[in-house]
A and B are shown apart, each in its own frame.
Chain A
Protein backbone atom coordinates (compact mmCIF):
# COMPACT_ATOMS: atom_id res chain seq x y z
CA UNK A 1 0.00 0.00 0.00
CA UNK A 2 1.69 3.26 -1.08
CA UNK A 3 0.17 5.39 1.72
CA UNK A 4 1.48 3.03 4.39
CA UNK A 5 5.01 2.90 2.97
CA UNK A 6 4.98 6.69 2.68
CA UNK A 7 4.16 6.90 6.37
CA UNK A 8 6.99 4.48 7.12
CA UNK A 9 9.46 6.70 5.24
CA UNK A 10 8.24 9.81 7.06
CA UNK A 11 8.49 7.99 10.38
CA UNK A 12 12.04 6.80 9.64
CA UNK A 13 13.28 10.25 8.62
CA UNK A 14 11.58 12.08 11.51
CA UNK A 15 12.71 9.65 14.19
CA UNK A 16 16.25 9.61 12.83
CA UNK A 17 16.35 13.42 12.91
CA UNK A 18 14.86 13.52 16.43
CA UNK A 19 17.38 11.03 17.81
CA UNK A 20 20.40 12.46 15.97
CA UNK A 21 19.77 16.04 17.04
CA UNK A 22 18.95 14.98 20.60
CA UNK A 23 22.36 13.27 20.73
CA UNK A 24 23.93 16.38 19.22
CA UNK A 25 22.26 18.45 21.95
CA UNK A 26 23.90 16.35 24.66
CA UNK A 27 27.32 16.18 23.00
CA UNK A 28 27.38 19.89 22.19
CA UNK A 29 29.33 22.08 24.64
CA UNK A 30 27.98 25.42 23.50
CA UNK A 31 24.56 26.10 25.10
CA UNK A 32 23.30 28.08 22.09
CA UNK A 33 24.01 25.19 19.74
CA UNK A 34 22.34 22.82 22.21
CA UNK A 35 19.14 24.87 22.06
CA UNK A 36 19.23 25.04 18.27
CA UNK A 37 19.65 21.27 17.89
CA UNK A 38 16.78 20.76 20.33
CA UNK A 39 14.62 22.92 18.02
CA UNK A 40 15.21 20.40 15.22
CA UNK A 41 14.34 17.54 17.58
CA UNK A 42 11.06 19.23 18.54
CA UNK A 43 10.10 19.81 14.90
CA UNK A 44 10.75 16.12 14.19
CA UNK A 45 8.67 15.18 17.23
CA UNK A 46 5.79 17.23 15.92
CA UNK A 47 5.99 15.30 12.64
CA UNK A 48 5.73 12.10 14.70
CA UNK A 49 2.70 13.57 16.48
CA UNK A 50 1.01 14.12 13.13
CA UNK A 51 1.68 10.46 12.26
CA UNK A 52 -0.04 9.55 15.54
CA UNK A 53 -3.11 11.54 14.42
CA UNK A 54 -2.60 14.34 16.96
CA UNK A 55 -2.41 17.41 14.68
CA UNK A 56 -3.43 19.87 17.41
CA UNK A 57 -0.62 18.74 19.69
CA UNK A 58 1.82 18.81 16.78
CA UNK A 59 0.98 22.47 16.25
CA UNK A 60 1.16 23.14 19.98
CA UNK A 61 4.56 21.47 20.09
CA UNK A 62 5.90 23.96 17.56
CA UNK A 63 4.13 27.03 18.98
CA UNK A 64 4.83 26.44 22.64
CA UNK A 65 8.02 24.40 22.71
CA UNK A 66 10.00 25.60 19.71
CA UNK A 67 8.35 29.03 19.61
CA UNK A 68 8.11 30.06 23.25
CA UNK A 69 10.10 27.87 25.61
CA UNK A 70 13.24 27.46 23.50
CA UNK A 71 13.24 31.14 22.54
CA UNK A 72 13.08 31.92 26.26
CA UNK A 73 16.09 29.66 26.76
CA UNK A 74 17.96 31.45 23.99
CA UNK A 75 17.15 34.83 25.54
CA UNK A 76 18.44 33.76 28.94
CA UNK A 77 21.58 32.16 27.52
CA UNK A 78 22.41 35.33 25.61
CA UNK A 79 21.47 37.52 28.60
CA UNK A 80 23.85 35.60 30.86
CA UNK A 81 26.42 35.49 28.04
CA UNK A 82 27.24 31.84 28.74
CA UNK A 83 30.42 30.52 27.19
CA UNK A 84 31.14 26.98 26.13
CA UNK A 85 31.79 24.54 28.95
CA UNK A 86 35.52 24.25 29.54
CA UNK A 87 36.73 21.02 27.98
CA UNK A 88 39.57 19.87 30.19
CA UNK A 89 39.49 21.53 33.62
CA UNK A 90 38.36 18.82 36.08
CA UNK A 91 36.36 16.67 33.71
CA UNK A 92 34.76 14.47 36.39
CA UNK A 93 35.76 11.07 34.86
CA UNK A 94 33.90 9.04 37.50
CA UNK A 95 30.63 10.91 37.15
CA UNK A 96 30.94 10.84 33.37
CA UNK A 97 31.23 7.04 33.14
CA UNK A 98 28.67 6.42 35.88
CA UNK A 99 26.18 8.81 34.30
CA UNK A 100 26.64 7.29 30.86
CA UNK A 101 26.23 3.78 32.28
CA UNK A 102 23.10 4.76 34.19
CA UNK A 103 21.54 6.36 31.11
CA UNK A 104 22.37 3.33 28.92
CA UNK A 105 21.03 0.90 31.52
CA UNK A 106 17.80 2.83 31.99
CA UNK A 107 17.35 3.24 28.22
CA UNK A 108 17.81 -0.48 27.63
CA UNK A 109 15.52 -1.37 30.52
CA UNK A 110 12.76 0.97 29.35
CA UNK A 111 13.01 -0.12 25.71
CA UNK A 112 12.84 -3.78 26.72
CA UNK A 113 9.96 -3.18 29.10
CA UNK A 114 7.86 -1.18 26.64
CA UNK A 115 8.42 -3.75 23.90
CA UNK A 116 7.42 -6.64 26.16
CA UNK A 117 4.45 -4.86 27.67
CA UNK A 118 1.13 -6.42 26.68
CA UNK A 119 -0.87 -4.50 24.12
CA UNK A 120 -3.55 -2.33 25.69
CA UNK A 121 -6.39 -4.60 26.62
CA UNK A 122 -9.97 -4.16 27.62
CA UNK A 123 -12.50 -2.39 25.51
CA UNK A 124 -11.75 0.62 23.31
CA UNK A 125 -12.43 3.86 25.09
CA UNK A 126 -15.77 5.57 24.49
CA UNK A 127 -13.75 8.64 23.45
CA UNK A 128 -12.50 7.06 20.23
CA UNK A 129 -10.31 9.35 18.15
CA UNK A 130 -12.60 10.38 15.25
CA UNK A 131 -10.34 10.19 12.22
CA UNK A 132 -10.94 13.43 10.28
CA UNK A 133 -11.85 15.78 13.15
CA UNK A 134 -9.78 15.12 16.24
CA UNK A 135 -9.50 18.80 17.06
CA UNK A 136 -13.22 19.58 17.68
CA UNK A 137 -13.46 16.42 19.79
CA UNK A 138 -10.40 17.48 21.78
CA UNK A 139 -11.88 20.94 22.32
CA UNK A 140 -15.21 19.53 23.51
CA UNK A 141 -13.38 17.22 25.92
CA UNK A 142 -11.26 20.09 27.21
CA UNK A 143 -14.29 22.19 28.07
CA UNK A 144 -16.39 19.36 29.55
CA UNK A 145 -14.49 16.56 31.28
CA UNK A 146 -11.29 18.50 31.85
CA UNK A 147 -12.79 21.91 32.61
CA UNK A 148 -11.56 22.03 36.21
CA UNK A 149 -8.03 21.01 35.22
CA UNK A 150 -8.11 23.59 32.45
CA UNK A 151 -9.07 26.40 34.84
CA UNK A 152 -6.46 25.27 37.37
CA UNK A 153 -3.92 25.34 34.56
CA UNK A 154 -4.74 28.93 33.65
CA UNK A 155 -4.29 29.89 37.31
CA UNK A 156 -0.97 28.04 37.36
CA UNK A 157 0.25 29.95 34.30
CA UNK A 158 -0.73 33.26 35.94
CA UNK A 159 1.09 32.31 39.15
CA UNK A 160 4.15 31.26 37.16
CA UNK A 161 4.21 34.56 35.28
CA UNK A 162 3.92 36.59 38.50
CA UNK A 163 6.51 34.37 40.17
CA UNK A 164 8.96 34.79 37.31
CA UNK A 165 8.53 38.58 37.49
CA UNK A 166 9.11 38.62 41.25
CA UNK A 167 12.14 36.33 40.99
CA UNK A 168 13.82 38.44 38.37
CA UNK A 169 13.30 41.72 40.22
CA UNK A 170 16.63 43.13 41.34
CA UNK A 171 16.34 42.77 45.11
CA UNK A 172 18.86 40.15 46.25
CA UNK A 173 22.48 40.76 47.40
Chain B
Protein backbone atom coordinates (compact mmCIF):
# COMPACT_ATOMS: atom_id res chain seq x y z
CA UNK B 1 0.00 0.00 0.00
CA UNK B 2 1.24 3.45 -0.79
CA UNK B 3 0.18 6.99 -0.35
CA UNK B 4 -1.21 9.05 2.45
CA UNK B 5 -4.54 10.72 3.02
CA UNK B 6 -5.27 13.85 1.00
CA UNK B 7 -4.20 16.87 2.99
CA UNK B 8 -1.34 14.99 4.66
CA UNK B 9 2.20 15.81 3.54
CA UNK B 10 3.43 13.11 1.10
CA UNK B 11 6.20 10.78 2.23
CA UNK B 12 9.54 10.43 0.44
CA UNK B 13 9.77 6.74 1.35
CA UNK B 14 6.69 4.65 0.45
CA UNK B 15 4.91 3.71 3.70
CA UNK B 16 4.60 0.09 2.57
CA UNK B 17 8.37 -0.24 2.99
CA UNK B 18 8.09 0.74 6.67
CA UNK B 19 5.24 -1.75 7.13
CA UNK B 20 7.30 -4.58 5.63
CA UNK B 21 10.30 -3.77 7.86
CA UNK B 22 8.00 -3.74 10.90
CA UNK B 23 6.43 -7.10 10.10
CA UNK B 24 9.82 -8.67 9.38
CA UNK B 25 11.12 -7.39 12.73
CA UNK B 26 8.02 -8.84 14.41
CA UNK B 27 8.62 -12.22 12.77
CA UNK B 28 12.28 -12.20 13.83
CA UNK B 29 11.23 -11.39 17.39
CA UNK B 30 8.68 -14.21 17.31
CA UNK B 31 11.34 -16.64 16.08
CA UNK B 32 13.58 -15.58 18.96
CA UNK B 33 10.77 -15.97 21.51
CA UNK B 34 9.99 -19.47 20.20
CA UNK B 35 13.55 -20.72 19.72
CA UNK B 36 15.48 -19.32 22.68
CA UNK B 37 15.85 -21.27 25.91
CA UNK B 38 17.24 -18.56 28.14
CA UNK B 39 14.35 -16.69 29.76
CA UNK B 40 16.19 -13.37 29.42
CA UNK B 41 16.72 -13.89 25.69
CA UNK B 42 13.02 -14.67 25.30
CA UNK B 43 12.24 -11.45 27.12
CA UNK B 44 14.59 -9.55 24.80
CA UNK B 45 12.80 -11.01 21.78
CA UNK B 46 9.48 -9.82 23.21
CA UNK B 47 10.96 -6.32 23.50
CA UNK B 48 11.91 -6.54 19.83
CA UNK B 49 8.32 -7.51 18.94
CA UNK B 50 7.01 -4.53 20.93
CA UNK B 51 9.33 -2.27 18.97
CA UNK B 52 8.16 -3.71 15.67
CA UNK B 53 4.58 -2.87 16.60
CA UNK B 54 5.70 0.62 17.64
CA UNK B 55 7.17 1.13 14.17
CA UNK B 56 3.84 0.04 12.67
CA UNK B 57 1.97 2.55 14.83
CA UNK B 58 4.35 5.35 13.83
CA UNK B 59 3.92 4.49 10.14
CA UNK B 60 0.14 4.58 10.32
CA UNK B 61 0.29 7.78 12.38
CA UNK B 62 2.36 9.35 9.61
CA UNK B 63 0.04 8.04 6.87
CA UNK B 64 -3.04 9.41 8.59
CA UNK B 65 -1.27 12.53 9.81
CA UNK B 66 -2.66 11.69 13.25
CA UNK B 67 -0.75 12.21 16.49
CA UNK B 68 -2.81 9.55 18.29
CA UNK B 69 -0.54 6.83 16.88
CA UNK B 70 2.52 8.53 18.34
CA UNK B 71 0.70 8.80 21.65
CA UNK B 72 0.08 5.04 21.73
CA UNK B 73 3.78 4.44 21.10
CA UNK B 74 4.58 6.72 24.05
CA UNK B 75 2.38 4.60 26.31
CA UNK B 76 3.78 1.34 24.94
CA UNK B 77 7.33 2.47 25.74
CA UNK B 78 6.37 3.44 29.29
CA UNK B 79 4.51 0.18 29.93
CA UNK B 80 7.46 -1.76 28.48
CA UNK B 81 9.73 -0.05 31.01
CA UNK B 82 7.44 -1.12 33.88
CA UNK B 83 7.21 -4.62 32.44
CA UNK B 84 10.99 -4.92 32.14
CA UNK B 85 11.49 -3.85 35.77
CA UNK B 86 9.01 -6.39 37.13
CA UNK B 87 10.02 -9.17 34.72
CA UNK B 88 13.71 -8.86 35.48
CA UNK B 89 12.96 -8.83 39.23
CA UNK B 90 11.01 -12.08 38.76
CA UNK B 91 13.95 -13.62 36.91
CA UNK B 92 16.36 -12.61 39.69
CA UNK B 93 14.04 -14.13 42.32
CA UNK B 94 13.65 -17.27 40.19
CA UNK B 95 17.40 -17.57 39.77
CA UNK B 96 17.87 -17.40 43.55
CA UNK B 97 15.59 -20.38 44.08
CA UNK B 98 16.36 -22.55 41.05
CA UNK B 99 19.91 -21.43 40.10
CA UNK B 100 18.85 -21.32 36.43
CA UNK B 101 16.76 -19.27 34.01
CA UNK B 102 16.60 -22.02 31.36
CA UNK B 103 12.93 -22.35 30.47
CA UNK B 104 13.37 -26.05 29.67
CA UNK B 105 14.41 -26.70 33.28
CA UNK B 106 11.73 -24.49 34.86
CA UNK B 107 8.81 -26.71 33.87
CA UNK B 108 6.93 -27.03 37.15
CA UNK B 109 3.63 -25.77 35.68
CA UNK B 110 4.14 -27.25 32.23
CA UNK B 111 2.03 -30.39 32.18
Chain A residues with CB under 8 Å of chain B are 1, 3-5, 7-8, 11, 15, 18-19, 22-23, 25-26, 31, 34-35, 38, 41-42, 45, 48-49, 51-54, 56-57, 60-61, 64-65, 68-69, 72-73, 76-77, 79-80, 82, 85, 90, 92, 95-96, 98-100, 102-104, 106-108, 110-111, 114-125, 127-129, 131, 134, 137-138, 141-142, 146, 149, 153, 156-157, 159-161, 163-165, 167-168, 170, 172-173
Contacts and interface: CB of A to CB of B under 8 A. Distances in A.
Interface residues of B, number: 81
Interface string B8-45: 11001100111111111111111110111110110111
17 contacts: A15-B17, A15-B18, A22-B48, A25-B44, A26-B35, A41-B25, A52-B58, A65-B47, A65-B80, A69-B80, A95-B34, A99-B35, A103-B34, A106-B27, A110-B23, A117-B1, A168-B92
B59 A64 contact: no
A76 B40 CA distance: 9
